[in-house]
Structures are given as C-alpha cells and as structure tokens.
Chains A and B, each alone.
Chain A
Amino acid sequence: MRKNILILGAGSDMARALCAELAGGGYDLFLAGRNVDELSKDAKDLEIRFEIQAEVFYFDALDFDSHAGFYEHLNPQPYGVVVAFGLLGDENRARRDPQEWQRIINTNFTGCVSILSLAANRMEKAGEGFIVGISSVAGDRGRASNYVYGSAKAGMSAFLSGLRNRLFSSGVRVITVKPGFVRTKMTRDLDLPSRLSATPEEAAGNIYKAILRNRDIVYTRWMWRWIMAFIKHIPERIFKRMSI
C-alpha cells in the first residue's frame, strides 16, 4: 500500500513545491489548509502529473480545538507529517497590537505544538514515519526587525528538537527545516539578495533530499548554516548595537 503524507498549510509556495517532490516520490497526499478550493485544484494537478491520490481537508492552525478531531479523521493515518503553515505577520504592528503578536505566536508556535503533539503520539505508537517542521533561520537569534516571528520560530525549533530526541528510540524521524530567504508569497514585498535566496522549488528539493537521507536539521540554501553559526556567536554585547 502507498504511504500518505499530510501537508499542513499546503497552500504555501514551499508546500506546493514540496508536494510535487513527494508525489514524484510516489507518496499519496493529504493536503490541509484553509483555502479548500485552491487546494482541490492543487490536488487535481498532482493527481494528473504523478498518478497519485491527493485528498483535501480544511485545517486551521489557530483552531486548536479542532485539531484532535481533524487528525483522528485521517484515514489511513499519515506516515509523514509536514508543518508548512506559518505567518510572518507585521512586526511593527505587533509592537502595538496584542492581536497581531498573538496571531504570529499562535500560528508559528502554538499551532505547531498542538497538531504535532497529536501526530507524535500516533506515530510513536506506529513506530515509523517522519515529521518535517518548516521553521526559520529567524529563530536562531532574535533581531530587532522580526523578533516576535523569530521567537515563535525559536520555540518551534526547540520543540522539534525535543520531539526528535523523544521519538528517536521509536524510529520516528523529525526534520527541522530552516530556510533563509525563499521567494514566496510571504516575502513577495521584500527585496531579497539573490545569492542567498532560494526558489520554493529549490527549497523543496532540499527538504525532500533531507527526508530521504535522514537528516536532522537542514538549512536552505546551505550557506545559511554558516551564516547563522557566525551570527549566533556574535557576543550579545556587540550584537545589541548592531542592526542586521
């Protein structure tokens, strides 16, 4: 029987590209997100191109209470789960508007904890499978320009790291993805440096490779691992004076 992968936030550009990689690898897909109409079109496209099955589900990362019911409903239970939802939000607004920072933290962090806790329990019992969480390099160190988003992603990265530790013995793999710049809807209005920016397709290719090769933490593009290693090691005394 073919294995199913659940993609949460399947409408994002990176998720769409990853779906194509996974479908190309012969997995059936559960596409979950809020825009069911568009996801149905994506599903049809994937079915035609890769001759796989793709089913669509309504999923709202912020509606925590619905998560248990949603996950139970999946049949068969997914072999892999990908958390691709996320919200960059408006950092300036988040300084004044509590609703904005709550939305950023709840989407990127709480929503991820909520759904992955459910998935982790099921997968631990099954004793196989993988979890992919798309976090961000912004979580590696808080910066003035996006520290609410960054701290939520830092929480997500720490959560995934703990989950990886917990599930290792049961044979479930957890992969943390830390994209640098990716040209997507989310970053459409930003002026990105081209050498450091990946296309969604390139990022998806890296993620798929990481799944195949049992990697733990993937940076995409690869140089971000070294850039962030450097940034993490700048002493706080100096870092606080910098604007990067």
Chain B
Amino acid sequence: MLVANWNNYPRINARLWEFRTENEACKLLDSLSRCIPRGLGRSYGDCSLEKNIISTPCFKRFIALDQKQGILECEAGISLDQILKLIIPRGLFLPVTPGTRYVTLGGAIASDVHGKNHHLHGTFGRHVLSLLLLTPGGEIVDCSREKNAELFHAVCGGMGLLGLILSARIRLMPIQSAHIRQITIPAENLEHLMELFEVHRQSTYSVAWIDFLGRGRNFGRGLFMLGEHCLSGEVTCKELSRQKKSGINIPFFMPGWIMNKQGVRAFNHLYHLRGKSGTGCSFPDLDDFFYPLDKVHNWNRFYGRKGFLQYQFVLPKEQSRPGLEKIQAHVQASRLLPYLAVLKLLGPQAGPLSFPFQGYTLALDFPIKPGLSAMLSALDRLVHNLGGRIYLAKDARMSKHDFLKGYPESGRFLELKYKHDPENKMASLQSERLGLCAKTY
C-alpha cells in the first residue's frame, strides 16, 4: 500500500506489519531482513519509510502508573493523546510535549522531540527513566542512564535505527490546573524578538511566530508567546477536567493554488492583526496552548496532494541573527514562500543524533513546487556553513555530506549501530540516503 508521513512526501509503496504483543514483535523483527519502526506517521519526510514498516500503534498498553511519584510506564505504540487523557485528570502532564498529541511514545523517543520549554527542560528523552529495546539481534535490552547508558542515549533521537523500542518508563510533572497563563507580546523585528527570548529565559514555555514576508527592518515582525502552568484556583473554569472538542476536519486535499503568494500574505497579515489585538494575558487550556493544530484534523491536506516540506534547522546562537537574515533574504528572492514560520530558542544538546543544541531553531512550511528542491539545497549550504543543522524527523532530502557536517557525533552513533546491528537490519530511506548504515562505517 502507499505510505507517506504527515507531509505526504515522499509517498512510497510499502508493507505495514503490525504487532500486539512482545512475542509478536520478536517474531516479526526476526522474520524481516530490513525494516524500520513507524508510529503514527507524524514525522515529515522519509525517516520512518522503508519497504517493510513495523507499525507500532497496536502495541499500546499502560504497564504501570505511580501517581504519587508521577512515573508512568507504557508500551511504545501508545499515543501521547491516550497518555494525556489518562494523566491530566489526575493532575499530571508530560514534562516535554511536541506540538501534536498524535505521536507515539516510541516515536517521541526515537525522534527525541522537544517542546516550547526546551531551553529549560530539554528534550523528551531527558524525562525517560528507562526503556526496553528489542535489538536487531532479537535481544531485549533494558536501557537507562545507569544500565547500557551509551545505548540509551543513542536510542533517544536514534530514529529507530538501533532497534525497536518496546516500552518506556517516563517521568511526569504535576500540574494544578488544565490551563496556561499565556502572555503574548508583539515584536517589531528580529532583534526585538531575540531580545524577548533572552529576557524571558526563565519562563517555562516560549515560542514565537514570525512573519517571514516582512522586508528589511520589518523582517522578524512577529508574536512572542510565553506560558506558565496556572495554579489551582487561578482560573475558575473546570480545573483539570477537560471538555471534549470535536474540532474541524479538512475532508480532502486542497487545490494547490490556495497556497499562492497573496494567500500567504493575507494569512500572515491577519495573524499579526489578530495577535496584536489579543496582546496581553490570556488563559488558554492545555489543548489550545500546546496543540492548536490538532483541532484541524488532516490539516496537512491544506498543502494539496503533492504534499509539503517542513524545513527546520537550528543555528548556533552567535550566528543566529545574521544567519536568519541571510536565510530570509534567500527565501524571499526565490519567491517560494513559507506559510508558517516558528522561531524558538533551544537549550543544550542531548544524544548523538538528537536535534536541538543551544541556538535558535526556525521551522518553515513549504508546499512542494518546482524549484523548491534547488532552493532548499541552497539553504542547506547556508545552514551548514553557519554551523547549523537540520532536524532528522523533518528531513526528506538532505545530502549525506550536509548530514555529516551537521551531526559531528554521528560517528559515535555508527559505532553503536555497527555493534548492535552489523547486518543493517534497521534501515529507512533516510538512513540509506544519509549513510547511517553499519556497512558504510
């Protein structure tokens, strides 16, 4: 069947293999000579695509919940959505959450996802206490910071290339309310925006939306958003209990012309106006603050049948401002315009293939159009020459050369890959493109 990840590019013919128990997982992995695990397919690109895909979402049981200590253990195919439905009414929350509830626990670990609090609380992997890994050799290995530590750190962000994550124990954080105290500050330009990030370093959550179409001094016009968990009693509406919202659905692929320049301009302008009028303090619930796009089911269809690419990179802090300006000038000149641009200040780096490091990350969405590939290749060069790198979970096209430049610790990862998977059983289209195979090592 045809399989694609969230951005609908690339779309390949693949077979999905499901399993429901640990035993079935072992047998399945044993029977396949080349495969890659895949959860709910919310990554952007080809990192979980291969002819044979081990599909994990049927393997989704809760194993243990210690409410007092805030420790949860689950099978890896469970979605963060199912976890949140269980823990929020009990006064607990994920210490790190990506922008959607519809990723699996295993996927969150394998991509070592981050959220709006990365500068303080790091990636998802930091809150994993231990995990069970089914290695390509068929062994089940218990990994944690104490046991098999090197393997543990490499599996967090390891893109499923070291084996199949079966289950994980994670630390949760206590919350008193299901609401966030959000402060929105409009920023005039990039300099102002970066200043805001610096000044508000101690705020738990911070993120900025920027208008990528602004020119010259106007570039970087945007909205800077801060958030803190509300305390008990701060918001009078239903504490912790969450009302069901059905949201809206995009029932079919939108025609490509919707994403033309005027459309993008109008959208950005409206967003800015709305933001300006909504400046100040508000109290969105957790869904509105963390997962605004989850309310629009199948929002990826906005980009048409051909799909889109999300280009996310991080630049070292000192390079960020001139770098972002250079990149913006380049994108503007190409006349290929990103719909949404999200900026965020990141904290220090975790495992060898984990994406974030100290600096600014920018995510840009581009619908697939002629000329996009050439333009992004030019951006690749800019990003890597500035000492930056691209997020593997959102990559469908980076070259091996750029990858090696961006991830200098990949050698350490390949040593482990060679040790645990000499036959190169775990492989994706991405890993083959980037040379993340035991054989090339």
B20 and A41: CB pair below 8 A? no
- A49 and B84 CA atoms in complex are apart in Å by 11
Query: A54: shortest Cβ distance to chain B, in Å?
Result: 12
With contacts A41-B61, A42-B61 known, is A48 near B86, CB below 8 A? yes
**Chain B interface residue count: which class?**
10 to 19
Which parts of B28-68 form the interface with A (CB within 8 Å)?
61-65
Contacts of B61 in A (CB 8 A): 41-42, 44-45
Which parts of A108-151 form the interface with B (CB within 8 Å)?
none
Contacts of A188 in B (CB 8 A): 18
Contacts of A13 in B (CB 8 A): 20
A44 and B64: CB pair below 8 A? yes
- A15 and B258 CA atoms in complex are apart in Å by 45
B63 and A45: CB pair below 8 A? yes
Q: Chain A 174-203, CB within 8 Å of chain B: the 1/0 string?
A: 000000000001001000000000000000
A38 and B21: CB pair below 8 A? yes
- A44 and B21 CA atoms in complex are apart in Å by 14
B63 and A41: CB pair below 8 A? yes
A48 and B20: CB pair below 8 A? no
A44 and B63: CB pair below 8 A? yes
Contacts of A41 in B (CB 8 A): 21, 61, 63
Contacts of B21 in A (CB 8 A): 38, 41
Partner of A49, one of B20, B23, B62, B64: B62
Contacts of A38 in B (CB 8 A): 21, 23
- A49 and B61 CA atoms in complex are apart in Å by 9
- A195 and B62 CA atoms in complex are apart in Å by 31
- A41 and B64 CA atoms in complex are apart in Å by 10
Query: A46: shortest Cβ distance to chain B, in Å?
Result: 9
Contacts of A49 in B (CB 8 A): 62, 86
- A188 and B65 CA atoms in complex are apart in Å by 32
- A38 and B24 CA atoms in complex are apart in Å by 11
Query: A193: shortest Cβ distance to chain B, in Å?
Result: 14
Query: A18: shortest Cβ distance to chain B, in Å?
Result: 15
Contacts of A44 in B (CB 8 A): 61-64
Contacts of B20 in A (CB 8 A): 13, 185
Query: B247: shortest Cβ distance to chain A, in Å?
Result: 19
Query: A225: shortest Cβ distance to chain B, in Å?
Result: 28
- A45 and B167 CA atoms in complex are apart in Å by 13
Query: B172: shortest Cβ distance to chain A, in Å?
Result: 13
> SS class of chain A's interface: helix, strand, loop or mixed?
helix
Query: A30: shortest Cβ distance to chain B, in Å?
Result: 18
- A36 and B77 CA atoms in complex are apart in Å by 22
- A44 and B73 CA atoms in complex are apart in Å by 11
Contacts of B18 in A (CB 8 A): 188
- A41 and B20 CA atoms in complex are apart in Å by 11
- A188 and B64 CA atoms in complex are apart in Å by 30
When C-beta atoms are compared, the residue in chain A nearest to B61 turns out to be A45
Contacts of B23 in A (CB 8 A): 38
Q: Chain A 22-64, CB within 8 Å of chain B: the 1/0 string?
A: 0000000000000000100110110011000000000000000
When C-beta atoms are compared, the residue in chain A nearest to B82 turns out to be A49
- A41 and B60 CA atoms in complex are apart in Å by 11
Which parts of B1-41 form the interface with A (CB within 8 Å)?
18, 20-21, 23
Contacts of B65 in A (CB 8 A): 48
- A38 and B23 CA atoms in complex are apart in Å by 10
Query: A170: shortest Cβ distance to chain B, in Å?
Result: 38
- A13 and B64 CA atoms in complex are apart in Å by 22
Query: A137: shortest Cβ distance to chain B, in Å?
Result: 24
Query: A204: shortest Cβ distance to chain B, in Å?
Result: 14
- A38 and B20 CA atoms in complex are apart in Å by 10
Query: A221: shortest Cβ distance to chain B, in Å?
Result: 20
When C-beta atoms are compared, the residue in chain A nearest to B23 turns out to be A38
When C-beta atoms are compared, the residue in chain B nearest to A42 turns out to be B61
Query: A213: shortest Cβ distance to chain B, in Å?
Result: 22
- A44 and B64 CA atoms in complex are apart in Å by 8
When C-beta atoms are compared, the residue in chain A nearest to B21 turns out to be A38
Query: A186: shortest Cβ distance to chain B, in Å?
Result: 12
Contacts of B62 in A (CB 8 A): 44-45, 48-49
- A48 and B23 CA atoms in complex are apart in Å by 22
- A38 and B59 CA atoms in complex are apart in Å by 12
- A45 and B21 CA atoms in complex are apart in Å by 13
Contacts of B64 in A (CB 8 A): 44, 48
Query: B56: shortest Cβ distance to chain A, in Å?
Result: 16
Query: A34: shortest Cβ distance to chain B, in Å?
Result: 13
- A45 and B75 CA atoms in complex are apart in Å by 10
When C-beta atoms are compared, the residue in chain B nearest to A50 turns out to be B86
- A38 and B58 CA atoms in complex are apart in Å by 14
Query: B64: shortest Cβ distance to chain A, in Å?
Result: 7
- A42 and B65 CA atoms in complex are apart in Å by 14
- A197 and B216 CA atoms in complex are apart in Å by 57
- A188 and B28 CA atoms in complex are apart in Å by 14
- A44 and B74 CA atoms in complex are apart in Å by 11
Contacts of B86 in A (CB 8 A): 48-49
Query: B160: shortest Cβ distance to chain A, in Å?
Result: 23
Query: B61: shortest Cβ distance to chain A, in Å?
Result: 4
Binding site for A on B (CB under 8 A): 18, 20-21, 23, 61-65, 86
The 5 closest A-B pairs by CB, nearest first: A45-B61, A48-B62, A45-B62, A48-B65, A38-B21
6 CB contacts below 8 A, A to B, read A13-B20, A41-B63, A44-B63, A44-B64, A48-B86, A188-B18
Known: A38-B21, A42-B61, A45-B61. 19 other contacts (CB 8 A): A13-B20, A38-B23, A41-B21, A41-B61, A41-B63, A44-B61, A44-B62, A44-B63, A44-B64, A45-B62, A45-B63, A48-B62, A48-B64, A48-B65, A48-B86, A49-B62, A49-B86, A185-B20, A188-B18
